[in-house]
Amino acid sequence: MFTSSDVSFVAATRITRGVTNGKASDVAWAASGVRLGSQHVVPMPQGGDRTLVFGVLENRATVSYAAITADGKIRAAATADVAGGTTTSIKVPEKVDESEVVAYVVSASGDAAYGALLLQQDGRDDISTVAFTPAASGQEKVPVSLRY
């Protein structure tokens, strides 16, 4: 179900893990995030299961994602073609070519796409999410001093 509005609004999603009776459970809230543009840098915490999750509201979007490794290299980008009304999940590897993955550069084109980082611990019911920050926009103002 899609909703439209002539005023701004925000949304969030509740994610629950561990619904077995007598076992621990955890709840995470995924806050609404920014629309994906180009060159969002997404830091990757070390350890645990890390998953990039992308969603598109309607029509289609192409999301590209490139790992940044501890040796300072930006690796070759991969792409995901995401249909409207769906999500796709990308499992983040611990290493690429023997170097730890420390971040991703994420970009999107086409219709509105959104993303988040899902964090979990193997064998546990812990869960948390990290929203993407706005894309790098470069310097928007330049100070000018006029002198003789």
Q: Residue 72 falls within a domain, yes or no?
A: yes
Task: Compute the average pLDDT of residues 88-103.
Answer: 95
Instruction: Answer whether residue 9 shows pLDDT above 70.
Output: no
Write the DSSP string, the chain: -----SS----EEEEEE--STTS--EEEEEE--PPP-S-EEEE--SSSEEEEEEEESSSEEEEEEEEEETTSPBPPPEEEEEETTEEEEEEPPSEETTEEEEEEEEEEEES-EEEEEEEE-TTS--EEEEEPPPPP------------
pLDDT of 135 reads 76
pLDDT digits (tens, 9 = 90+) for 24-47: 777 777 676 788 998 899 999 998
- Could you tell me the residue range of the domain that residue 86 belongs to? 36-131
Task: Compute the average pLDDT of residues 82-90.
Answer: 94
Q: Residue 44 falls within a domain, yes or no?
A: yes
Q: Residue 8 falls within a domain, yes or no?
A: no
pLDDT digits (tens, 9 = 90+) for 107-135: 999 999 999 898 888 777 777 888 888 87
pLDDT of 1 reads 44
pTM of the model: 0.76
HEC per residue, 113-145: EEEEEEEECCCCCCEEEEECCCCCCCCCCCCCC
Confidence of residue 3 (pLDDT cuts 50, 70, 90): low
Q: Residue 18 falls within a domain, yes or no?
A: no
* Structure-model confidence comparison of residues 22 and 56, the more confident one: 56
pLDDT of 141 reads 66
Instruction: Answer whether residue 88 shows pLDDT above 50.
Output: yes
pLDDT of 4 reads 65
Q: Residue 143 falls within a domain, yes or no?
A: no
Q: Residue 144 falls within a domain, yes or no?
A: no
pLDDT of 98 reads 95
Query: What gap in Å lies between CA 54 and CA 56, rounded to an integer?
Result: 7
Q: Residue 115 falls within a domain, yes or no?
A: yes
CATH code of the domain covering residue 81: 2.60.290.11
Mean per-residue pLDDT over the chain, rounded: 84
Side chain identity, residue 51 = T
Query: What gap in Å lies between CA 60 and CA 66, rounded to an integer?
Result: 20
Q: What is the number of structural domains in the chain?
A: 1
